[in-house]
Structure 1
């Protein structure tokens, strides 16, 4: 049970994340209450309406001597992707992976529109190379159950399970050895693999 600022009781499923003070930087944002850990400021900013249904909402945070605790909603039913993929036999179907990627891209687009310097982190730059690599690695692992391995002889990735040609094309593009030849998040969103299911 959580008591919102309005004083009206609302039932929540909650989750608490602990962030060590020496692991994250602090920011000073008077509009949000002054000095606070950067992650807290990001979560607070993303919880200001209009909110995105694909981003877990911030409830409260508490500061301790060595760490801070961030209280967030925990939508029910829910399960983290790692355990969900294990329950699915170690990999997801292409239809489910498309849905996961679509929701992730929608959340990132919302973050990009809401946040601005100095609150941006590398995950918020829509054309950031590391963002593309992070998303692509996650997607490959969810689909194939292994980390991606680039085959120098074939000039493409090794796929240890049967996947569509569109998925292979997208992954080969995302993991192109030449960084400048990799797609942006906008290009991933418009790729035929993601579009064919919708």
Structure 2
């Protein structure tokens, strides 16, 4: 184990080196508690910690290059230890946008980034996984190539058709239906969070900073954005969940073409 990369409510993440081949990895150590959820995944009988199970589901081949891969995991009496792919070089997208006072990304850069994030979210859904916390802090980017990877499934859940009645993601990215009805469906909630991320990338700030403003849904764009970019953001941030686009419709939108 090497230096610590980050610390949060979940535990800590460290740089590590795999002895077998010298591969650099990330080691995530999550504290155990009596609320931990265990599930079994299709094709296996073993009960796994929820985050481990979700990561195994998205890491099975054919894998998506835009989702970080689970390499190994271990369980001790006090914690779970996940050994994860570690791109090099990389930083989280929030830091990337803030470096050199950049704050907001040029549209061609934002296009390349958000296309990959949408592909990562779509891959999760195809695999039956609801990430539930898509935000710049959970997206790694290679500053040289602009390749991105979605990380941190600690707030995730199995995908289901029924509405969810609990929310464990970041409040600034949650959809208005949660505040209005205390229920939300997975796909429209993810599309909403993708719209928030895209707004943040091209405007350099969050569109809404309170639940009242999330419900109101009034968007104020910075000057200079293309009409196509604004139209995609407004589509993703429709108040009515059923009016938001699908993953395919985002990827086929004229702004991303």
**TM-score, scaled relative to structure 2:** 0.62
Q: Which of 232, 239, 252 is the aligned partner of 1:177?
A: 239
Determine the structure 2 residue equivalent to 1:135: 194
CA contact (8 A) 1:157 1:171 kept: no
- Residue 129 (structure 1) shift: 1.2
Q: Which of 121, 126, 135 is the aligned partner of 1:113?
A: 126
Residue by residue, what CA displacement relative to the aligned partner does 1:23-76 show, whole Å, maximum 9, x if unpaired?
A: 652113485561221110121232222222212111111223343121101011
Determine the structure 2 residue equivalent to 1:101: 114
Determine the structure 1 residue equivalent to 2:153: none
Aligned residue-pair number: 187
CA contact (8 A) 1:32 1:41 kept: no
Determine the structure 1 residue equivalent to 2:229: 167
Write the distance in 1 (CA, Å) between the matches of 2:70 and 2:215: 45
Which SS does the other structure have where 1:19 is aligned? strand
Write the distance in 1 (CA, Å) between the matches of 2:57 and 2:214: 42
Write the distance in 2 (CA, Å) between the matches of 1:66 and 1:130: 33
Label 1:162 to 1:20 Cα distance change in 2 as closer, same or farther (>3 A): farther
Determine the structure 1 residue equivalent to 2:58: 46
Label 1:151 to 1:163 Cα distance change in 2 as closer, same or farther (>3 A): farther
Write the distance in 1 (CA, Å) between the matches of 2:42 and 2:234: 45
Determine the structure 1 residue equivalent to 2:40: 28
Structure 2: which 5+ residue stretches go unaligned? Answer: 1-16, 131-156, 170-184
Residue by residue, what CA displacement relative to the aligned partner does 1:2-41 show, whole Å, maximum 9, x if unpaired?
A: 25xxxxx333221122334346521134855612211101
Give the superposed CA RMSD: 3.2
**TM-score, scaled relative to structure 1:** 0.78
Larger Rg: 1
